[in-house]
């Protein structure tokens, strides 16, 4: 990147390091930080949407819908995350290809399942074989986001389900006494108040989601852990202009600092949100604010 980086062999000290940290390979790890942040920015609201849907279904008066909501919460929470991450990526990919195969190749006369192989017509492949590299990367990232959202949505559903039950029954009875329908009571009384009870659990879930981002490597996305391992390994002069020993410890130490700083910022933001939500509420947090005032 710098003009003095033309001959790495003649560099020393901080000059060598500045050139080393701005090579094309190192730009990949900087981009991967953006990938992790983008994953969190998309996954968090999507998982919250899955969670809200699961919690609402789990308390539905219609029995099959209630069983579906409770089954989603119980099954996903009861299986190790890694198993679900590895399963969903394959299952979702094959499910999408099966749908495209049914639409684009209705005259296909061969079985899709041929032993252990999943075979669809070329037009149904996702992405297409002649697609650009960025299309393959975007599709893999989309599957990763959807997988994270489904898994963490189940945990969010459990938190929101408990928060809905924590809203005092007297509040709902008062709404009914004023002539509100069950739908109006749910959206105008329960939903606004449940966030006070849900935020502590959701904040913990957010921290777990941050710590789970290194699992992107298992889903085929080149994240910061992947690049830290690749760039930190021993490099000889035969394969690179910037030879060095095994520096993985320093790369992983940088990741440690990054995650600690990110979680600290998250704690500050979540604490402010909690103070805002509990302001004027008949909760322990609201009572503490009234006493402090």
Task: Evaluate whether residue 20 is within a structural domain.
Answer: no
152 within some domain: yes
For residue 117, being part of any structural domain is answered with yes
Distance separating alpha carbons of residues 144 and 184, to the nearest angstrom: 36
Domain carrying residue 214: 29-233+250-279
**Residues 244-253, mean pLDDT to the nearest whole number:** 85
pLDDT single digits (tens) 30-69:
888 888 889 899 999 999 999 999 999 998 888 999 999 9
Q: Is residue 180 part of a domain?
A: yes
pLDDT tier at 156, thresholds 50, 70, 90: very high
Question: Does the CA dihedral 139-215-53-286 come out positive or negative?
Answer: negative
More confident residue, 68 or 16: 68
Residue 42 lies in a domain: yes
- The answer to whether residue 126 is domain-embedded is yes
End-to-end Cα separation, the chain, in angstroms: 55
Confidence band (pLDDT; 50, 70, 90) for 285?
Answer: very low
Percentage of the chain modeled with pLDDT above 70: 90
What confidence tens digit (pLDDT) does each residue in 178-229 have? Answer: 888 888 888 888 888 888 889 889 999 999 898 888 877 777 777 788 888 8
**Is 57 inside a domain boundary?**
yes
On whether residue 192 sits in a domain, the answer given is yes
In the chain, the number of structural domains is 1
- The pLDDT confidence band at residue 125, using thresholds 50, 70 and 90, is confident
What CATH number does residue 185 fall under?
1.10.3720.10
Mean pLDDT of 96-118: 82
């Amino acid at each position: 990147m710098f003009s003095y980086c033309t001959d790495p062999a003649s560099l020393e000290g901080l000059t060598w390091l500045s050139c080393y940290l701005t090579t094309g390979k190192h730009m990949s790890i900087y981009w991967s930080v953006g990938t992790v942040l983008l994953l969190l920015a998309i996954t968090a609201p999507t998982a919250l949407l899955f969670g809200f849907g699961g919690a609402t279904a789990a308390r539905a008066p219609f029995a099959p819908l209630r069983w579906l909501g409770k089954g989603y919460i119980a099954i996903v929470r009861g299986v190790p995350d890694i198993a679900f991450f590895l399963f969903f990526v394959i299952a979702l990919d094959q499910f999408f290809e099966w749908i495209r195969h049914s639409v684009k190749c209705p005259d296909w006369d061969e079985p899709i399942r041929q032993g252990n192989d999943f075979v669809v017509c070329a037009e149904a492949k996702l992405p297409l074989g002649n697609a650009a590299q960025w299309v393959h990367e975007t599709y893999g990232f989309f599957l990763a986001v959807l997988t994270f959202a489904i898994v963490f949505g189940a945990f969010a559903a459990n938190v929101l389900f408990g928060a809905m039950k924590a809203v005092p029954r007297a509040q709902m009875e008062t709404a009914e006494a004023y002539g509100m329908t069950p739908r109006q009571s749910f959206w105008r009384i329960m939903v606004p108040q449940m966030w006070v009870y849900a935020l502590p659990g959701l904040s913990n879930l957010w921290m777990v989601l941050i710590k789970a981002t290194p699992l992107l490597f298992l889903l085929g996305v080149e994240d910061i852990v992947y690049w830290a391992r690749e760039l930190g390994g021993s490099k000889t002069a035969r394969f690179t202009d910037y030879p060095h020993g095994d520096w993985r410890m320093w790369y992983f130490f940088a990741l440690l600092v990054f995650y600690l700083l990110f979680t600290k910022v998250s704690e500050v933001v979540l604490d402010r949100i909690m103070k805002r939500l509990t302001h004027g509420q008949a909760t322990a947090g609201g009572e503490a604010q009234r006493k402090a005032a």
